[in-house]
Structure 1
Amino acid sequence: MTAIFDRRDRDAAFVIEHHTLPAKLFIGQRVRGYDRIYKIEELSQLALDLNARTGREIG
């Protein structure tokens, strides 16, 4: 029987693991200092808001 994941898969998963963790682990439960926190579904709105703030087209 062969392993489903080999060492390279395991190493790659470890390297990107933090990209899949909830943001609250990094910013905490209190979100002071942020004007707004965007959900993945709201990324188009984030681009619009960045456009307005910077005067540049972001996306």
Structure 2
Amino acid sequence: MNVVDLLLKLLSFKSLTPDDAGSLHFIEEYLDGYEAIYVNKEGVKNLFLTKKFGEGTHLC
């Protein structure tokens, strides 16, 4: 998927906090190879993605 198609796909989600309308699932699937961590806080779902590239210290 090229960058324009990706942008259009992301903009197509009818998301309005706290309803992500499937956008977080799409991002998780699109970024294959990353570990997804969902954090639910006060009814709002947040997605954090991590990927280990080496043995050193990394952020998030």
Q: So what's the TM-score if we normalise by structure 2?
A: 0.28
Higher helix share: 1
More strand by share: 2
Q: Which has the higher contact order (CA 8 A, sep 6+)?
A: 2
Which structure has the larger Rg over C-alpha atoms? Answer: 1
